Amino acid sequence: MTSIYEPGGDAKAISRIAKAHFGGSYKTMFEAHGWFLKDGQHYMHQASSRIKEQYGSIAAFEAHFDSKDGS
């Protein structure tokens, strides 16, 4: 599967949504989705895989939240 993002672009997209909708907090974003970390895991490192599991892709995650703010 190919990405529509340049290197680092998916992380930037996730960060943008976290800032716009979750006060910049990955923890808040995880809590809002009911996602949990196992011992030793970090929010930033796990965000992409959790987002892809729930939304199918980072682009779909962006589209979902962009539609909420009229972007």
Residue 35 has pLDDT above 90, yes or no: yes
Report the distance separating Cα 43 and Cα 46, nearest Å.
5
17 pLDDT exceeds 90?
Answer: yes
- pLDDT tens per residue across span 44-67: 999 999 999 999 999 999 999 988
Which residue, 42, 47, 65, is CA-closest to 10?
47
pTM listed for this prediction: 0.84
